[in-house]
């Protein structure tokens, strides 16, 4: 697949780049995508949820009514889960949600996600994105030049660029990552993928066999 290389001003450079068929033309594996996204979202969970059980609630353990003769059920402590302010039965406990996923499955998932984007023609190649200062206005203008200002975009840089990253943080619906940090969830979560030309080399080096 060949794509036109654009400038950040929106004009064509007159050049075309050929995408690696091994990555952008592969047959997508949706189950691998499911597993990788599931792991990514699970790893974001803090797992710090906690409720107090009966033995952890602060309160008296005095028997507040007699055992027999009340016409009601037996009752002991006010800390019983049956009463307001009592402990919770089988409440949530802190836990680790992370799980292991084979490296080959994660690579397959990323290749599959990129293939989906390529088949849907949702990939834009830019020769370079460089900002002289940290200005959200300048970054927004770049997206507007590429006709992506009203779309959810993921911009992939070949290396870290502080000005571009900080300029994008205040804009809703756009995210900037480096090619080495590219993940399946971010690819699928964006409507359009903007690849800086130099990022293609990093992606091929990471994902190609």
Are residues 104 and 86 part of one domain? no
Are residues 65 and 10 part of one domain? no
Q: Are 171 and 156 within 8 A, CB to CB?
A: no
Q: What pLDDT, on a 0 to 100 scale, did the predictor assign at position 155?
A: 95
Are residues 32 and 119 part of one domain? yes
Are residues 109 and 87 part of one domain? no
DSSP character for 19?
Answer: P
Per-residue pLDDT of 49-92, as tens digits, reads 999 999 999 988 888 888 999 998 988 888 999 888 899 999 99
Residue ending a domain, among 61, 91, 121, is: 91
| Collapsed DSSP state (helix, strand, coil) of residue 97 | coil
Contacts of 7 (CB under 8 A, 6+ apart): 13, 126, 127, 128
Residue ending a domain, among 65, 91, 117, is: 91
Domain count, the chain: 2
Are residues 124 and 111 part of one domain? yes
Q: Phi first, then psi: give them for residue 157, nearest 5 degrees.
A: -100, 150
Q: What pLDDT, on a 0 to 100 scale, did the predictor assign at position 65?
A: 87
Are residues 40 and 130 part of one domain? yes
Contacts of 145 (CB under 8 A, 6+ apart): 8, 9, 10
Q: Phi first, then psi: give them for residue 156, nearest 5 degrees.
A: -110, 115
Per-residue pLDDT of 97-140, as tens digits, reads 999 999 999 999 999 999 999 999 999 999 999 888 999 999 99
Are residues 149 and 162 part of one domain? yes
Are residues 135 and 35 part of one domain? yes
Q: Are 108 and 34 within 8 A, CB to CB?
A: no
Predicted confidence band of residue 10 (pLDDT cuts 50, 70, 90):
confident
DSSP annotation string for 139-154? HHHHHHHTT-TTS-EE
Are residues 58 and 10 part of one domain? no
Are residues 166 and 82 part of one domain? no
Q: Once rounded to an integer, what is the mean pLDDT over residues 32-41? A: 97
Separation of alpha carbons 3 and 17, rounded Å: 5
Q: What pLDDT, on a 0 to 100 scale, did the predictor assign at position 53?
A: 93
Indicate if the pLDDT at residue 209 is higher than 80. Answer: no
Q: What pLDDT, on a 0 to 100 scale, did the predictor assign at position 100?
A: 94
Q: What pLDDT, on a 0 to 100 scale, did the predictor assign at position 59?
A: 85
- The CATH number for 157's domain is 3.40.1370.10
pTM for the predicted model, two decimal places:
0.83
Write out the residue range of the structural domain in which residue 200 sits. 2-46+100-207
Are residues 61 and 26 part of one domain? no
Are residues 18 and 75 part of one domain? no
Strand partners, 17: 3
DSSP annotation string for 22-87? HHHSSPP-HHHHHHHHHHHHHHH---------GGGS-S-----S-SSSSSS-----TTSTTSTT-P
Per-residue pLDDT of 177-207, as tens digits, reads 999 999 999 999 999 999 999 999 999 998 8
């Amino acid at each position: 697949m060949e794509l036109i290389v654009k400038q950040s001003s929106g004009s064509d450079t007159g050049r075309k780049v050929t995408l690696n068929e091994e990555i952008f033309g592969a047959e997508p594996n949706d189950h691998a995508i499911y597993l990788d996204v599931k792991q990514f979202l699970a790893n974001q969970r803090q797992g710090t949820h906690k409720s107090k059980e009966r033995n952890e609630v602060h309160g008296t353990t005095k028997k507040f009514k007699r055992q027999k003769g009340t016409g009601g059920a037996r009752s002991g402590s006010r800390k019983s889960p049956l009463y307001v302010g009592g402990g919770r039965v089988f409440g949530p406990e802190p836990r680790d949600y992370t799980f292991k996923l084979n490296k080959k499955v994660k690579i397959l998932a990323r290749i599959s996600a990129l293939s989906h984007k390529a088949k849907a023609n949702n990939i834009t190649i830019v020769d370079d994105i460089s900002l002289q200062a940290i200005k959200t206005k300048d970054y927004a203008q770049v997206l507007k030049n590429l006709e992506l200002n009203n779309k959810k975009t993921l911009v992939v840089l070949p290396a870290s660029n502080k000005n571009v990253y900080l300029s994008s943080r205040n804009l809703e619906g756009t995210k900037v990552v480096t090619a080495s940090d590219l993940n399946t969830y971010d690819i699928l979560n964006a409507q359009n993928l903007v690849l800086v030309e130099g990022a293609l080399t990093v992606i091929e080096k990471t994902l190609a066999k």
